[in-house]
Amino acid sequence: MKTESFLSSRLWRYATKRFDTNQNLSEEQLHLILESIRLTPTSYGLQPFKVLVVNSINLREQLRSAGFDQPQFSDASHLLAFAHYDGFSEDLIDRYIDLTIEIRQADPAKIEGYRSFLKNLFGAWSTEQKSHWADKQMYLALGSALQAAAELKLDSCALEGFDSKKANEILGLTEKHLKVTAFLALGYRSSEDATQHLPKVRVPSSVLVEII
Ligand SMILES: Cc1cc2nc3c(=O)[nH]c(=O)nc-3n(C[C@H](O)[C@H](O)[C@H](O)COP(=O)(O)O)c2cc1C
C-alpha cells in the first residue's frame, strides 16, 4: 500500500466543529463504529467501560449546556458517551473469565488460576487506581472509534470539554459506578466549518520520536 493512501484517512479527518444537521449516519455505519469499539484491545481484555449512544434530543441539549455550549453535542448525527467503570469490582473479572470459558470452550479447571491471579492483582489496587486504569483502556476505544470514523469517511470530534460532574448527573451514571470522561460526536462536516481548511498542527517526528 502506498504511504499516501495509507495516511489519507488520517489526513482527511479533523476535529469537526460544525456538523451538517441534515445528514445522518446509517444504521450500518453506526454498527461499524460500535464494532470497532467492541473489538478494541484492552489490558487483560477486561473492557472496563461502556459506550452510551445518546439519542435523546433532550439529553443532548442538556449535555451541550454542560459542555460549554459546544454545538457538536447537539448538532452531530450521533453522540457517543464513553464512560469507564469507576472502581470496578470482581464482577468484571468474572465476566471475562466466564466469557473465555464459553467462547473458547476452555477447560474451567485450567483457567481458574488466572481468575484468582486477576482478582489478587486488582484486589490490591485502590478505587482510584482502578478508575484511572479503566479510563486509560476506555481512551484506546475512543482512539479506535476516531480512526474507524475516518476510514468510513465520517466526520467526528472527540469531546473532553465538559463539566464531568454535570454530565454524569445528566446521564445518571454515578449510581451505575460509571464515569463519563469523553464524548464522540459523529456525522458529516458542515461546508461552513472553516476548521476543515486548516493545515494540521503536529510536532515533527524528529521531536516526537527518539531512536535509542
Ligand atoms: C480526547 C480529546 C478531547 C477533545 N476535546 C475537544 C473538545 O472538547 N472540543 C473540541 O472542539 N475539540 C476537542 N478535541 C479535538 C482536538 O483539539 C483536536 O483533535 C486536536 O487539536 C488535533 O486536531 P485534529 O483532530 O483536527 O487533527 C479533542 C480531542 C481529543 C483526542
In tens, the pLDDT along 104-134 reads: 998 999 999 999 999 999 999 999 999 999 9
Tell me, yes or no, whether 210 lies in a domain.
Answer: no
Question: Over the stretch 17-50, which tens digit does the pLDDT of each residue have?
Answer: 999 999 999 999 999 999 999 999 999 999 999 9
Tell me, yes or no, whether 211 lies in a domain.
Answer: no
Tell me, yes or no, whether 193 lies in a domain.
Answer: no
pLDDT of 2 > 80? The answer is no
Average pLDDT of the residues in 138-147: 98
Kindly state if the Cβ of 197 falls inside 6 Å of ligand 1.
no
**Residue in 84, 159, 197 to alter for ligand 1 test, most ligand atoms within 8 A of Cβ:** 159
Ligand 1 centre distance from Cα of residue 200 (Å): 12
Phi, psi of 85 (to 5 degrees): -70, 125
Tell me, yes or no, whether 15 lies in a domain.
Answer: yes
* Residue 123 belongs to domain spanning: 3-186
Q: Which of 83, 94, 70 is nearest to 17 (CA)?
A: 70
| Unique residue bearing C-alpha cell 481458574 | 112
What lies within 8 Å, CB to CB, of 189 at 6+ separation is 16, 18, 19, 20, 155, 196
pLDDT of 99 > 80? The answer is yes
Tell me, yes or no, whether 212 lies in a domain.
Answer: no
Q: What is the pLDDT of residue 87?
A: 86
Tell me, yes or no, whether 77 lies in a domain.
Answer: yes
Q: How far apart are CA 20 and CA 192, in angstroms?
A: 9
| N-to-C CA span, the chain | 28
Kindly state if the Cβ of 14 falls inside 6 Å of ligand 1.
yes
Phi, psi of 185 (to 5 degrees): -90, 135
The answer to whether 46 touches 93, Cβ cutoff 8 Å, is yes
Percent of the chain topping pLDDT 90:
96
Ligand 1 centre distance from Cα of residue 14 (Å): 8
Ligand 1 centre distance from Cα of residue 10 (Å): 14
Residue closest by Cα to atom 2 of ligand 1: 158
Q: How far apart are CA 196 and CA 145, in angstroms?
A: 19
Q: Which of the four pLDDT bands, split at 50, 70 and 90, describes residue 156?
A: very high
Q: How far apart are CA 22 and CA 96, in angstroms?
A: 41
Kindly state if the Cβ of 141 falls inside 6 Å of ligand 1.
no
Q: Which of the four pLDDT bands, split at 50, 70 and 90, describes residue 183?
A: very high
Q: How far apart are CA 79 and CA 195, in angstroms?
A: 20
Tell me, yes or no, whether 207 lies in a domain.
Answer: no
Q: pTM higher than 0.75 for the full model? A: yes
Tell me, yes or no, whether 165 lies in a domain.
Answer: yes
C-alpha pair distances (Å), 184 with each of 85, 108, 138, 150, 188? 18, 38, 12, 13, 13
Q: What is the pLDDT of residue 88?
A: 83
In the chain, the number of structural domains is 1
pLDDT of 1 > 70? The answer is no
Residue closest by Cα to atom 27 of ligand 1: 14
Q: What average pLDDT does the structure give for the chain?
A: 96
Distance of CA 164 to the CA centre of its chain: 15
| Ligand 1 atom index nearest CA of 195 | 26
What lies within 8 Å, CB to CB, of 167 at 6+ separation is 63, 66, 67, 81, 180
User: Which CATH number goes with the domain that contains 81?
Assistant: 3.40.109.10
The answer to whether 15 touches 40, Cβ cutoff 8 Å, is no
